[in-house]
Structure 1
């Protein structure tokens, strides 16, 4: 499906597209486009909203091997900073907070521990809602950002790594503003991946789940158009998997940021340069391990999901090798079809010496590799595609 610009609703221009073998969905053309009016970049063509909601409900999980459902050190660090950033920008922490896209509940638990009295989440993922209640006793509205309803008003609304996922992010921001019709000042904290220079962007930056892409300028305009004014901004380029920008904004007028200027030419160039860099990167990773793959008895891909889609879309893997199966530790994925394979439970496979497992994940690659010692002990080769130990994931 073709999408209009998420910021100004203009028709968009496709810069590149390719066929993705998506988990639980038929192969689909996925592309990335630029708006010729405001310069914003979005995923288009894309899957439909209902198909994306099916993906989140069935595929989005927040448990990882070796971590026992605990947050990463980077996540703990990022929450330390977010809480301090908001406290410094406002002067205090508000009494009530709503988080849209509350994931496993860890973020809200930290704000509660810091002194916020009333916390509530909004989360579409079934597994995540259950985790939030079980791990942190956080209550969540089990619904999407677009469809949830509440009669409460909140002094602080938090959207960390959410706007890039939404089909109509401006509607959600305006909905947030309606939940802050307070006699006192209300605040919103938004954090998203920052579309910076191609050299700053990680492999897979233009991904399936991320359908909107933000620069500093269009993020400020997004908040301004929804009735907010920027109080504070922070940008990080090296501390996370991808560059990020965080913005604290107020319901009261401020005059800190310049007027929005469209950068159509610059953003088009970022997409074009990144695409060439991305294909060369993925193919180079495959070429480095191709001799080992081709000497294996059978090959299984580890990880039903987007990185498996990306290696299929961006390399010659299927032309160079026969892939015998797909496996994953998440029971939610067992039985799901992705391309020519159905995802199997690891312990349902009759592993044999000489088999090979190729880990497709980027952010969790080292974590998965360390957890697969039991396969190496029985003679199964486990190969890392990216070989990056420190992905600094958020």
Structure 2
């Protein structure tokens, strides 16, 4: 077993938990500090898991739910606001990997008049997006086999934490899909505020480790944001990053070790508990039908 970011085979057991009735073991890389599951031991590293099982376990439904659609719509508004605030040139071609219902792509298309393409392994969600007129693929390999023109923006929103080889995926995007001046958009749960330990989460990203995985894959991070939108106005549940590919001849530095991860996790969870108790309405913004997240 090797670290998903730095490749080290040195690790300690970090915790043992249960998610959706499945026992999980998370390890900590003793070289860079990443918290991760063993891809070899996790069923979530099998592509068939996302095609056949993931939605049923997480949402008790293969079809999009009201809550899921609401979160996707408001998340899309947040990401578009970031791009507008940074005055990013409207991207002509956009690829969303893990596109779900295509909600983000539809919002991008409306906001930027872009040509949009999605990759989504879940059949029901992919069919839903196709019904909205979005060009969708079941797997990245299928898209690559079509040899598409390069994209101006590639997004992976709440996808990276599910990948057994995040550095390899991001490197493939840089080499084969993204324009030299294109933008990579990432969003992941923040390990220091989000529950994070879930059956489908192979890695738990901190601000340090998210930037490390981008550096390892050959990117320069030019925007980094901790926030809770659309679920919380007080808790920094998520990390959003924008990055651009570095020239191929730029050396990729070895990740530095993040220290005191366990202590920072404990402090973050204690802060979350206090905020939830003192300011419950701001800590968790309402969902349709007042569902809890």
Q: TM-score per shorter chain, which class?
A: 0.7 to 0.9
For residues 164 and 189 of structure 1, the distance between their equivalents in structure 2, rounded to whole angstroms, comes to 14
For residues 39 and 263 of structure 2, the distance between their equivalents in structure 1, rounded to whole angstroms, comes to 19
In the other structure, the counterpart of 2:64 is 63
For residues 39 and 23 of structure 2, the distance between their equivalents in structure 1, rounded to whole angstroms, comes to 7
User: 1:17 is paired with a residue of what secondary structure?
Assistant: strand
Aligned mate of 1:207, from 190, 198, 201: 198
**1:275-323 Cα distance to aligned partner (Å, 9 max, x none):** 99xxxxxxxxxxxxxxxxxxxxxxxxxxxxxxxxxxxxxxxxxxxxxxx
For residues 117 and 366 of structure 1, the distance between their equivalents in structure 2, rounded to whole angstroms, comes to 30
**1:172-224 Cα distance to aligned partner (Å, 9 max, x none):** 10011013464x6111110111111xxx334xx31101111111111112112
| 2:258 equivalent to 1:263 | yes
Query: Mind listing any 5+ residue stretches in structure 1 that lack a counterpart?
Result: 23-27, 254-258, 277-362, 371-388
In the other structure, the counterpart of 1:98 is 95
In the other structure, the counterpart of 1:229 is 220
Aligned mate of 1:9, from 4, 7, 27: 7
In the other structure, the counterpart of 1:38 is 32
The structure number with the bigger radius of gyration is 1
CA contact (8 A) 1:29 1:46 kept: no
- TM-score, normalised by the number of residues in structure 2: 0.76
- The alpha-carbon distance between structure 1 residues 107 and 215, as it changes in their structure 2 partners (threshold 3 A), is same
- The alpha-carbon distance between structure 1 residues 92 and 366, as it changes in their structure 2 partners (threshold 3 A), is closer
For residues 230 and 111 of structure 2, the distance between their equivalents in structure 1, rounded to whole angstroms, comes to 23
User: 1:170 is paired with a residue of what secondary structure?
Assistant: helix
- State the shift of 1:262 in Å: 1.7
The number of equivalent residue pairs is 264
Aligned mate of 1:170, from 149, 152, 167: 167
User: 1:201 is paired with a residue of what secondary structure?
Assistant: coil
CA contact (8 A) 1:99 1:121 kept: yes
Note the 1:169-208 alignment, pairs <5 A.
Answer: 169-180=166-177, 182=179, 185-196=181-192, 200-202=193-195, 205-208=196-199
**1:136-174 Cα distance to aligned partner (Å, 9 max, x none):** 21111112x577524121111011000000000111100
CA contact (8 A) 2:224 2:242 kept: yes
User: 1:9 is paired with a residue of what secondary structure?
Assistant: coil
- State the shift of 1:114 in Å: 1.2
RMSD: 3.5
Note the 1:335-354 alignment, pairs <5 A.
Answer: none
In the other structure, the counterpart of 1:53 is 47
Query: Mind listing any 5+ residue stretches in structure 2 that lack a counterpart?
Result: 56-61, 248-253, 271-283
- TM-score, normalised by the number of residues in structure 1: 0.58
CA contact (8 A) 1:14 1:44 kept: no
For residues 20 and 226 of structure 2, the distance between their equivalents in structure 1, rounded to whole angstroms, comes to 33
User: 2:151 is paired with a residue of what secondary structure?
Assistant: coil
User: 1:140 is paired with a residue of what secondary structure?
Assistant: strand
In the other structure, the counterpart of 2:152 is 155
- The alpha-carbon distance between structure 1 residues 45 and 168, as it changes in their structure 2 partners (threshold 3 A), is closer
In the other structure, the counterpart of 1:382 is none
- The alpha-carbon distance between structure 1 residues 245 and 44, as it changes in their structure 2 partners (threshold 3 A), is same
For residues 366 and 77 of structure 1, the distance between their equivalents in structure 2, rounded to whole angstroms, comes to 11
- The alpha-carbon distance between structure 1 residues 102 and 21, as it changes in their structure 2 partners (threshold 3 A), is closer
- State the shift of 1:47 in Å: 3.8
